[in-house]
Structure 1
Amino acid sequence: MDYDSTIPNNVGLSDDRRLRRALEGWQPKFLDWWGEMGPALENEGVYLRTAVAVGREGWAHFGHVRVPEYRWGIFLAEREAERRIAFGEHKGEPVWQQVPGEYRADLQRLIVVQGDTEPASVEQQRLLGLTAPSLYDLRNLFQVNVEEGRHLWAMVYLLHAYFGREGREEAEGLLHRNSGSPDSPRILGAFNEETADWLAFFMFTYFTDRDGKYQLGTLKESAFDPLSRTCEFMLKEEAHHMFVGTTGIDRVVTRSAQLIREHGTEDIAACGGIPLDVIQKYLNFHYTVSLDLFGGETSTNAANYYTAGLKGRWQETRREDDHLLADDAAVLETPGEDGGWERTEVPALLALNLDLRDAYTADCRSGVTRWNRVLDDHGIGFRFALPHPCFNRRVGLAAGRHVTPDGRIVDEAEWERNRRAWLPTPEDLAFVKSLMQPVREPGRIAGWIAPPSRGINGRPLDYAYVHLP
């Protein structure tokens, strides 16, 4: 196998016999997994972006590729020769090119958890191609899928290259777990949820892939330089996934707003549009499920990772503090005995998950602002909003509590009376799914979503982005 052409890379794969042998054993299993769990819709070629380098110019190539023949590559961002550890007890020391023995288990765990999310989303989205609203959207789905596959390769490379036999076994495990499996589910809950329709896909790529952005951003700060450089390059591709979600929801909201204006009512289900309250319920679900990915508001594991230099904060080097946090505090809202909320001071080191979650939430609000601006442009008074961060939670302080979208702590009876107004009902899901009729002619688009404002890589909207049998 010519690894430099079959697997584009900048890690010297052709010169590393041991690593080549490890990947020779793993690649066929990956292709078997892709054939079984990857996109269900067959194609004769998709207009895809393929990573071929890491430079600022020309890092990717565009062209039609049959998806099973996509060239999944291994790339690390360019090495910073004088890079030093920016935080924790090793602050100021040179970054590590090899795994320190005392941190081996923790680093391996971080890589495995991140790696497990990548194939999971491919599995969740396996059937979506069958109901794509346009060839433009179908192409974007395939692009997201192959890049999640490449991100899996990125984590598997680290496991094979730096963690020996245990790393090879963990790389095998990444292919054996499956999203939603009752026997061997994916590690994190959000990656076992069903993505049954395109509104859910857009919400996933907006909210859950945005969590991926922030998790990769913290690993980019790692003192383990190969992990840092791997995540830095992955962030280039992750940006497109969030673009798909942001503009996808833009287009759904735009089309719903057009139908409301056209028919003079917000009850547009009979007109083939998705009602705004249903979009809000999808938003509530996907946002809160994604919040669970940040873990509990306080975490000794996160504190230990930070102190050791394994995982930093979002934009660590831009923070104006001592990057040790030993004497710093954070404010945490906790449920009070009177049914309200109390503000509690906790050590900043213990509240790193909360710090990251707050940055994520601020970013998510930008999308809500965009979608409300669309409604403003159409003269519609409805307003989207992020629910309270303790609403519908399974992880953290609010797990097991009943909290309304506006932050009230209520009893189970009130929760059950109102949950159908807050979260998608079986009827909502069935209705949205009923709209998911495939459109496969270039330039045409389904009636429940507006067309995009521009094509891909300068191509027109009626370009044949996907060649189907």
Structure 2
Amino acid sequence: MSSINYSEKIPNNVNLSEDRTLQRALEQWQPNFINWWDDMGPEGSTDMDVYLRTAVSVDPQGWASFGHVKMRDYRWGIFMNPGDAERTIHFGDHKGEKAWDSVPGEHRANLRRIIVTQGDTEPASVEQQRHLGNTAPSMYDLRNLFQINVEEGRHLWAMVYLLHKHFGRDGREEAEALLERRSGDQNNPRILGAFNEATPDWLSFFMFTYFTDRDGKFQLCALAESAFDPLARTTKFMLTEEAHHMFVGESGISRVIQRTAQKMNELKTDDVQTLRNAGVIDLPTIQRYINFHFSVTIDLFGADESSNAATFYSSGLKGRYEEGKRVDDHVLKGQTYRVLEAKNGQLVEKEVPMLNALNEVLRDDYITDSVAGVNRWNKVLEKAGIPTRLSVPHKAFHRNIGALKGVKVAPDGRVVSEAEWKANVDHWLPSGGDRAFVASLMGRVVEPGQFANWIAPPVMGINRQPVDFEYVRFN
């Protein structure tokens, strides 16, 4: 089950050829997917040969093969981690029972909703990043963008397979709808707000892949605990690919900071305008981008109190991050968790049933993980002798969902008046001027080994290739 059959029209390790009806249905969906890719995938990339990683097995070791391929010919497919016939459900009301190979009728609607919502994020991010190749800061970065794009395409395939195989006509209709919605479209937008935001520049892209793809990691980890075994096995394999997306974000921002610090030392200044005139991105602007992308992303975890989250957990549909490492009873009835609310102009904590606070539990785990990466960025500044430190804002800052929606909170966690918010919003979130400045730096640099002025080269290339390797052949 670990090897992938590339001789089939749809590469897979799920014995697709043994289910002719399903195979025909997916082969009918495949041309629609290719049409979507041609319309909404990376702009102007049709003739490029890109040095891409392709899965050849789902074993932990040696599962990837590298080579130059056209993205349109990339071997998308359906890959699951190997199954365990003895696997049992390890949380919720069904704890100790055998994991499900098929969808129980009473959980059908909720499972479909979970899969569709996850599936919708995959093509959305490709659409958001469609134009970025035109302003790539290097060939190395262009290749990383394209690797992320094809993997998001494959993650869409992963969810579409589950919809087709387990949800009949409803699933087929949902799979079609995944190709019909469009990021940012007023009439038919993507399901989640963050996936309708523009990604207009590479600083936004690196922030997106660091913060928003990290949300993907936590959502996939929670789904990898699912009692519905096909979903758990699918998302476990997706996580192996998601790691690269977060690496691109973390290392990308690190290289931006490194270049800025280098210029600050060279010019002996932290003056914003002087640094902008020198063609690098000043640290206050980087901080405002962090504030925006972090706050938009933590909204993706949903309301801080949610009966749906309780239902998903108790039903065994979606666990917590690293459920198996937790030392409680994995049922959680009678347990509580603290969430924030605004009261009399202050943020206060209140105890709520933990089952209803599971979105907040996952959000807090995410925040801990995000902070660790920001601390690594600060090490770059520390090494350069720059005293400034970057941080994530308070989790109540700039929230648009749940009990904190619309509450005016400064990045340091103070509840502020409408007047104070308006007076400071351009110091806390990217202004039109910030975005225009960053956009002005975006110019395509694609000669092997050359890099835009605003970003430092990476320490090493991809797959032990040199940094100046020809990662993309433009033909």
TM-score (norm 2): 0.97
1:392 aligns with 2:398: yes
Aligned 1:88-237 pairs, distance under 5 A? 88-237=92-241
SS at match of 2:126: helix
1:52 and 1:60 in contact (8 A); partners too: yes
Paired residues of 2:184 and 2:190 also in contact (CA < 8 A):
yes
After TM superposition, the structure 1 = structure 2 runs for residues 318-333 of structure 1, keeping only pairs within 5 Å, are 318-333=325-340
CA distance in 1, matches of 2:209, 2:48: 25
The answer for the alignment partner of 1:19 in structure 2 is 22
What per-residue deviation string (whole Å, max 9, x for no partner) do you get for residues 304-345 of structure 1? 0100000001111111011110011111222121x1122211
Partner residue in 2 for 1:452:
458
* Matching residue of 1:282: 289
Secondary structure in 2 matching 1:287: helix
Whether contact under 8 Å (2:10, 2:27) holds in the other structure is no
Map of 2:39 onto structure 1: 36
Who is 1:359 aligned against? Answer: 365
Shift of 1:82: 1.0
Report the Cα distance in structure 2 between the residues aligned to 1:260 and 1:82, rounded to whole angstroms.
Answer: 58
Q: Which segments of 5 or more consecutive residues in structure 2 lack a partner in the other structure?
A: none
Does the residue aligned with 1:397 lie in a helix, a strand or coil?
A: helix
List per-residue Cα deviations over 1:383-414 (Å, max 9, x = no partner): 10110101111112211111100111111111
Q: Using the alignment, how far apart are the partners of 2:427 and 2:312 within structure 1?
A: 40
* TM-superposed deviation, 1:291: 0.5
Query: Which secondary structure state, in structure 1, belongs to the residue aligned with residue 13 of structure 2?
Result: coil
Deviation of 1:22 (Å): 0.6
Structure 1: gaps (5+ residues): none
Tell me the distance in 1 between the aligned counterparts of 2:215 and 2:439: 26
Please tell me whether the aligned partners of residues 211 and 360 of structure 1 are also in contact (alpha carbons under 8 angstroms): yes
Deviation, 1:278, is 0.3
Contact kept in structure 2, 1:8 and 1:52, CA below 8 Å: no
Percent identity of paired positions between Structure 1 and Structure 2:
60
Residue 150 (structure 1) shift: 0.2
2 CA distance for matches of 1:106 and 1:36?
31
3-state SS of the aligned residue for 1:431?
Answer: helix
Please name the residue that 1:341 is paired with: 347
Residue 73 of structure 1: how far off its partner (Å): 1.5
Match of 1:10 among 10, 13, 33: 13
Q: What residue number does 1:310 align with? A: 317
Q: What SS class does the counterpart of residue 190 from structure 2 fall into? A: coil
Mapped contact 1:47–1:466 kept (Cα < 8 A):
yes
Q: SS in structure 1 opposite 2:379?
A: helix
Count the aligned residue pairs: 467
| 8 Å CA contact retained: 1:442, 1:463 | yes
Q: Which one-letter code corresponds to 1:332 in the other structure?
A: V
Counterpart contact for 1:3–1:13, Cα < 8 Å: no
Provide Cα deviations, 1:191-224, integer angstroms capped at 9, x if missing partner.
Answer: 0000000000000000000000000000000000
Contact map agreement 1:52 1:73 (CA 8 A) in 2: no
Find the counterpart in structure 1 of residue 383 from structure 2.
Answer: 377
Query: Given the two structures, how large is their TM-score scaled by the length of structure 1?
Result: 0.98
Displacement of 1:3 after TM fit?
6.9
Partner amino acid, structure 1, of 2:40: M
Q: Determine helix, strand or coil for the equivalent of 2:149.
A: helix
User: Partner letter of residue 329 of structure 1?
Assistant: T
- The one of 418, 428, 442 equivalent to 2:424 is 418
Give the alignment's Cα RMSD to 1 decimal: 1.0
Q: Distance in 1 between matches of 2:51 and 2:319?
A: 36
- Give the AA of the match of 1:21: R
- TM-superposed CA distance for 1:237, in Å, is 0.1
Q: Verify the 8 A CA contact 2:342 2:407 in the aligned structure 1.
A: no
Q: Cα distance 1:20–1:5, how it changes in 2: closer, same or farther (>3 A)?
A: closer
Q: Which amino acid aligns with 2:432?
A: P
Matched, 1:436 2:439: no
CA distance in 1, matches of 2:420, 2:185: 32
Say which SS state the counterpart of residue 97 (structure 1) adopts.
Answer: coil
The equivalent position to 1:427 in structure 2, one of 427, 433, 436, is 433
Does 2:76 correspond to 1:72?
yes
Between the aligned partners of 1:151 and 1:428, the Cα distance in structure 2 is 33
- Which residue does the alignment assign to 2:412? 406
List per-residue Cα deviations over 1:127-165 (Å, max 9, x = no partner): 000010111000000000000000000000000011000
CA distance in 1, matches of 2:297, 2:48: 34
Give the letter aligned to residue 61 of structure 1. Answer: S
Secondary structure of 1:343's counterpart equals strand
Give the match's secondary structure for 2:421.
helix
1:58, distance to aligned residue in structure 2 (A): 2.4
1:326-380 deviation line (CA, Å, top 9, x unaligned): 011111222121x112221111111100100000000000111111111111111
Question: Structure 1, residues 275-297: CA drift from partner, whole Å, max 9, x if none?
Answer: 00000000000000000100011
